[in-house]
Structure 1
Amino acid sequence: MKSKLDTVRAWDILSELQADGRISKSELAKRVHLSASACSQRPRILETGGAIEGYYIWLSPSLTGGVIFVMVEVVLDRHRLEDQRHFETAIHAIPEVLDCWAIGGRIDYLMRVAAPSMAAYQDFMEGLRQVGLGIDQYYSLIVTKSVKSNSPIPLSASRQR
């Protein structure tokens, strides 16, 4: 069975939707050289097939009147599978943790955390240590400015496999 991504048009549709998730179906159809009816159906097929996980807007941090972002390297005190699952499940429910990645190497996880101030961030991290997530150590890297963020995944490399 062929993958839903085996067609050039599917990659083109994904590329256009990454660039502009609010694009109209008629404009999408023009850009990928398909009929409007085909462009209405194919994104839904890609959604149900799991290629598209959702549509988002990116808010300006200035909207909140200022927010700091901190990259946090986390080392767990134990490395059993159930400890990792416990940590990961808990992190999903914490809105201040914007992103969290499991990392191979000297740290276990890398998180991107938002906080209204350094004092609030420090209180947040101390709270995380107190709730029994198994955090042994954490290292904070303060984001001083955003140079590049929220970039689309480069699909051109994926298409050449």
Structure 2
Amino acid sequence: MKSKPDPVRLDAWDVRILSEVQSDGRISKSELAKRVHLSASACSERLRILQAAGIIEGFYARLSPALTGGVIFVMVEVVLDRHRLENQRHFETAIQQIPEILDCWAIGGRIDYLMRVSSPSMAAYQDFMEGLLQAGLGIDQYYSLVVTKPVKSNSPIPLSALRQR
């Protein structure tokens, strides 16, 4: 059984750094140090520690779906045909290799997983899902929810609770 990592103790400086890099991942180290009121070397060291601890998982560019060729997003609720640990592991391992599945969360309740899938069209999405069903991943049922427009997405994690520790 995989143990949960010990939480890293964050102080006010760390929270300020995380807040800044969450809102601007391209910020230079010198500008970051200025904004959080630390020396460049102290700020760089804290940033390195936050990355090494896995708190900062990476830096990404957010692309515009409309300007990159038109993409639709579908939220897919998945129910597996068997609810044994090896079936879950098989499914989870397989979907890691499928680039169209942007996100996947294990869910407690009436469904087993919720996935966010990208596709160039509804016809391509249907072909994609038929391929998933034939791939032997143990999918018993799936329900598609087509995203008609984004209302709020890619929001930063609220760090206010960290400041109270």
Q: Answer yes or no: same fold by TM over 0.5.
A: yes
* Runs (4+) off by over 2 Å: 2-6, 157-161
Alignment of 1:52 with 2:39, yes or no, is no
Give unpaired runs (5+ residues) of structure 1. Answer: none
Q: 2: CA distance between counterparts of 1:104 and 1:158? A: 26
TM-score by length of 2: 0.93
Give unpaired runs (5+ residues) of structure 2. Answer: 1-5
Shift of 1:39: 1.4
Shift of 1:26: 1.4
Alignment of 1:15 with 2:27, yes or no, is no
Q: Is the 8 A contact 2:22 2:156 kept in 1?
A: yes
Q: 1: CA distance between counterparts of 2:73 and 2:56? A: 27
Q: 1: CA distance between counterparts of 2:151 and 2:7? A: 35
Q: Is the 8 A contact 1:4 1:10 kept in 2?
A: no
Shift of 1:4: 4.5
TM-score by length of 1: 0.95
Question: Of residues 133, 139, 152 in structure 1, which corresponds to 2:137?
Answer: 133
Question: Of residues 79, 83, 87 in structure 2, which corresponds to 1:79?
Answer: 83
| 1:158 alignment partner in structure 2 | 162
2:161 match: secondary structure:
helix
Identity among equivalent positions (%) equals 79
| 1:96 alignment partner in structure 2 | 100
CA RMSD of aligned residues (A): 1.4
Q: Is the 8 A contact 1:98 1:111 kept in 2?
A: yes
| 2:3 alignment partner in structure 1 | none
State how many pairs are aligned: 160
Shift of 1:64: 2.4
| 1:106 alignment partner in structure 2 | 110
Q: 2: CA distance between counterparts of 1:75 and 1:3? A: 32
Q: Is the 8 A contact 1:68 1:117 kept in 2?
A: yes
